[in-house]
Structure 1
Amino acid sequence: MTTWLLSLITAFSLLGIEASATMTLRSNSQEGIDFKYDHKDPAHKGLCAEVAQLMAKRTKINLTGLATEKTIPKIQTDLNLKKIDIFFCMIEDETRTSFIDFLKPAIFTENLVFLARKDDPVSIRTWDQVRALKDNSILLVNGTAYVNYLKKVPGLHLDDGANSLSINLKKLINKRGRFIVASEPSLRTAIATEGLENQVRILPWILRVEGQYIAVRKDLPPDLKMMLSKSLEELRHTDEYKKILEKYQVQP
C-alpha cells in the first residue's frame, strides 16, 4: 500500500469517512435533470452518472448513494453538513464556494439558453429586449446557479418554484410562463423525453457558457482532492470519456 494511500486512510478515519484499501465516498444523483442523472434508462444513465462511475472505476474509489436522487439545494446542504462527500456536475457559484470546493478541470461545458413555445414569434438577443416585453416571465429549476445569475439581472419576472425541467415544460406549454432558461443539453434531453419537439424551440441567444465541476466537501484531504483532479484530467484524454461526451453531445 502506497504512502499517499495510507495517509488518506488516516485522514479519512479522522473525518468519519469509511476508509479501506478501497475508499468509500458518499454521493447522490440530481433529481429532475435526466441529462445528468437518469435511473429510468439503463442505456442512458445520464452524463454525470456515467462519468462518476468511470471515475470510480479508474480511481478504485467506491461511490455510494448514486441511486438516491435529491434536489440541488439538498445536495448543497448535505455537502455543507458532511452528509455526503462528493457530487458530480455542479456549477461553481459565489454562493457555494464558502462551503464547497470545485475541482478543476470541468467535467464538461454547456450553453445557457432560452426556450420558448414554437407558436411564440419572439426574438431576443439582449436583456433590454427581454425587459421591453410585456410578458418576460422566465421559468427556472429551483436552486440552480442560473437562479442566482438571473436574480442579478434587473427587470425580469422569475419563477423558480419547480424542481424539474419536466414540470417547467408543462408550465410553458400551458402558458404559465413565457420562457425557460436552462442548459441547452438538459433542455434537449427533457424535450425529447416529453415528446415536445414540435411545440417548443431553443432560441439562438447564448447567455453564457458554464462549466460543470466535481463538487466536494471543503474538509476532504488535499491529497484526495489533488488525486481526483489529476484523475479527471487524465480521464478527459481517454476514448471512454470522449465517447460519453459524444453520446450526450457536449464539449469538455
Structure 2
Amino acid sequence: MNIHGSRHSFFILLLAAAHLFPRIVSDSRAAELPPVRVAAQLDSEPKFVAQGNIVAGNCVDIFRAIEKIDPDIKFTGEQRWLPLKRIEAMTAAGQLDAICGLIKNEERTSSYRILETPLFVVTYHFLVRADDSVNVKSLGEVRQLKSDGIILVNGGSGAVSFLKNAGNLKIDSSASSTGGNIEKLLAGRGRFFFYRQPGLNSEVRKSGHEGKVRVLPTTFDAQVFYMMLGPHIPKETEARIAQALGKLNERGELKHIAEKWASY
C-alpha cells in the first residue's frame, strides 16, 4: 500500500474511534452502580447515633469503610431517621436498598438477602428498677415469677422472637421505642426490660433516668447482626458489598469499628 493509502486508512480508523468513544463512555457510565439507599434507625444506638445535627454510629462507619474499599459503592440516606418497622417495609418494597445490623430470623430470611459476613455481636440483658431487689440469673427464674415477671421488649425487634421461642414467658412488646419501655418499667407496667449491650447504657442516659434503673449482670443471649439487602437490589451491587465486607472482616476493621462503639 502506498503512503497516501496508508494515511487514508489511518484517518478512517481515527474517524471510527471518534464515533465509538462516546458509546464507550456512555456504556461505562451505564455500568456504574446505583446508590445504595438506607436510613438511620431510630432508637438503635450505637448503630446510629445523633451527634448534634449529624448522624454517626457503628453502621455509618461501616458504610464509609465499604465505600473506601470500593469507591463505586455509595450509601445515601443515612442522615434521615426512620423507625425500624418502616425501614423494613420500605426495603422489602424496593424504596430502600439495605438495612445495617439486624438479627437473622425466619421472616427476614424470606424477605431480604442476608450477607454472610457478621457485622458485630451484641449481648442481651435485663434492665430493672433500682429499688427492685430482683436478680434473676436465668429465664427459668423469670418464668417462676409468672405474672410478676412481665418482660418489656421493643416491638418489631429481633429480641421478640428470641423471647417467644424461649416459651412460657410473659412478654409485652406493645411499645416500639426504648424510651417508651423505660417509662413503662418505671411506672410498674413490667418487671424487666430486655435490651442489648452496647446500647442500653446510652439509652438510659438519654432517657434521663440514671439512678432510677440498673442493669442485671447476667447475659441472657448473644446475637450476631448482619447487613440485609432488598430482594430487588442488582446482583452486582450485592456481590460488591459482600466482597467489601469480607475484606473489612479479614483486615479486622469490622472488629475495630465494633470496639470503637462498644462502651457507648
Alignment of 1:150-229 (within 5 A): 150-229=163-242
Of residues 64, 69, 90, the one that matches 2:76 is 64
Alpha-carbon distance between aligned partners in 2 of 1:187 and 1:57, rounded to the nearest angstrom: 30
Q: Paired residues, what number?
A: 235
Aligned to 1:201, what secondary structure does the other structure show? Answer: strand
TM-score (norm 2): 0.79
Deviation per CA, 1:93-135: give whole Å up to 9, x if none: 1111111111121110001221112211112122221111141
Q: How many angstroms does 1:162 deviate by? A: 2.0
Q: How many angstroms does 1:230 deviate by? A: 2.0
List alignment gaps of at least 5 residues for structure 1.
Answer: 1-8, 11-17
Partner of 2:119: 107
Aligned to 1:182, what secondary structure does the other structure show? Answer: strand
Alpha-carbon distance between aligned partners in 2 of 1:109 and 1:143, rounded to the nearest angstrom: 19
- 1:137 maps to 2:150: yes
TM-score (norm 1): 0.82
Q: How many angstroms does 1:44 deviate by? A: 7.4
- Higher share of residues assigned strand: 1
Alpha-carbon distance between aligned partners in 1 of 2:38 and 2:54, rounded to the nearest angstrom: 21
- Higher share of residues assigned helix: 2
1:184 corresponds to which letter in structure 2? Q
Question: Larger Cα Rg: Structure 1 or Structure 2?
Answer: 2
Partner of 1:31: 42
Alpha-carbon distance between aligned partners in 1 of 2:69 and 2:53, rounded to the nearest angstrom: 21
Aligned to 2:49, what secondary structure does the other structure show? Answer: coil
Deviation per CA, 1:41-89: give whole Å up to 9, x if none: 4687221222223323432222122122222222221121111111111
1:152 corresponds to which letter in structure 2? N
Alpha-carbon distance between aligned partners in 2 of 1:148 and 1:240, rounded to the nearest angstrom: 30
2:103 corresponds to which letter in structure 1? I
Alpha-carbon distance between aligned partners in 2 of 1:110 and 1:76, rounded to the nearest angstrom: 20
Structure 1 range deviating more: 199-208 or 112-121: 199-208
Q: How many angstroms does 1:152 deviate by? A: 2.6
Alpha-carbon distance between aligned partners in 2 of 1:19 and 1:243, rounded to the nearest angstrom: 35
- 1:120 maps to 2:120: no
Percent sequence identity is 27
Alpha-carbon distance between aligned partners in 2 of 1:220 and 1:23, rounded to the nearest angstrom: 9
Q: How many angstroms does 1:242 deviate by? A: 4.5
Alpha-carbon distance between aligned partners in 2 of 1:104 and 1:92, rounded to the nearest angstrom: 11
- 1:97 maps to 2:109: yes
8 Å CA contact retained: 1:31, 1:163: no
Q: How many angstroms does 1:164 deviate by? A: 1.7
- 1:78 maps to 2:73: no
2:112 corresponds to which letter in structure 1? I
Q: How many angstroms does 1:170 deviate by? A: 1.9
2:139 corresponds to which letter in structure 1? W
Structure 1 range deviating more: 238-247 or 124-133: 238-247
Partner of 2:4: none
Q: Cα 1:41–1:55, aligned 2, differ >3 Å: closer, same or farther? A: farther
2:47 corresponds to which letter in structure 1? K
Alpha-carbon distance between aligned partners in 2 of 1:238 and 1:189, rounded to the nearest angstrom: 29
* CA RMSD between the two structures: 2.6
Structure 1 range deviating more: 55-64 or 111-120: 55-64
2:96 corresponds to which letter in structure 1? I
